[in-house]
Amino acid sequence: MSVQSRRRLPQPPAILSRRYNIAMTPTVPSRDLTFILGGARSGKSARAERLADESGLPVTYIATARIGDDEFAERVRQHRARRPAHWTLVEASLHLARALREADRPGHCVLIDCLTLWLANLLCPPESMHDDSAILPPAAIEAFDAFDRALADVRGKVIVVSNEIGLGVVPLGSVTRLYVDELGRLNQRVAAASTRATLMVAGLPLALKG
C-alpha cells in the first residue's frame, strides 16, 4: 500500500471509540499483571527486574528492542549483563502478543521491556524510515488488539514496562505527535488491564493502582 493511499485510509468509528475509551474497561481481579512506567532513567527497568527476581518463579524476559547502532547495542549489553543468567530471553520486536502467549503459563513470570520500543518498531519499520505519514497503520491496530487479548488471558505473573513521555510540550512534528498519542493510549489500555500499576520517579515508586 502506498503512502498516499494509507493517508486516505479511514478508521471505523468503532475502532476510534475503542481506542479512546479502553481505559474505562474494568480490571479482572484474578489477573496477576503489574504495569511499571516512568521517564528515562527513572529506575523502571531495574524495579521490574527486581520484582521478577523476588517472585521466586522461573522468568522469561521478552525484549522488544531492535538494535540500530553501536551506542544502542551497548545499552542492550548492559541490560543483559545485570539480568540473572538463568532467565530465558525472547526477542519480540514486532510479534509481542505471540511471544507473550507462548511464554505465559501458571507458575511462571514474564517480564516485557518495553512497550515504548515495541510501538516505535510498529510505527517506524526499517523499510519505511523516510515515511512521513502521520496515520496509524492497520497492522499496528491489529497488533494492539492481539496484545490486548493476550493480556486479558494471562495465567502466570506478568510485568510490563513502558515510558511516560506525555508530560512535556506537544511535539512539533506530526509523526512525533502520533507516536506520543499512541503510546499514551497504549499505556492507558495496559493500566486498565493491570492489577497493579507503579510510576517510577527518580528511582522511587509511586503506587498508582493496587
pLDDT at 27 over 60: no
**pLDDT tens-place string over residues 95-105:** 999 999 999 99
- 79 noted as active-site residue: yes
Best CATH choice for the domain 26-209 from the list 2.40.50.100, 3.90.550.10, 2.60.120.10, 3.40.50.300: 3.40.50.300
Q: Where are the alpha helices (DSSP H) in 63-158?
A: 70-82, 96-103, 115-123, 138-152
Q: Where are the domains of the chain?
A: 26-209
Q: Which residues pair with 196 in a beta bridge?
A: 34
CA dihedral 81, 157, 24, 169 (to 10 degrees): -10
**pLDDT tens-place string over residues 130-188:** 556 678 889 999 999 999 999 999 999 999 999 999 998 888 889 899 999 999 999 99
Q: What is the pTM of this model?
A: 0.83
Sign of the torsion formed by the C-alpha atoms of 174, 148, 118 and 188: positive
Q: Which residues pair with 63 in a beta bridge?
A: 91, 113
pLDDT at 18 over 70: no
CA 177/CA 182 separation, integer angstroms: 9
- Which of the residues 79, 95, 108, 130 is marked catalytic? 79
CA 210/CA 195 separation, integer angstroms: 6
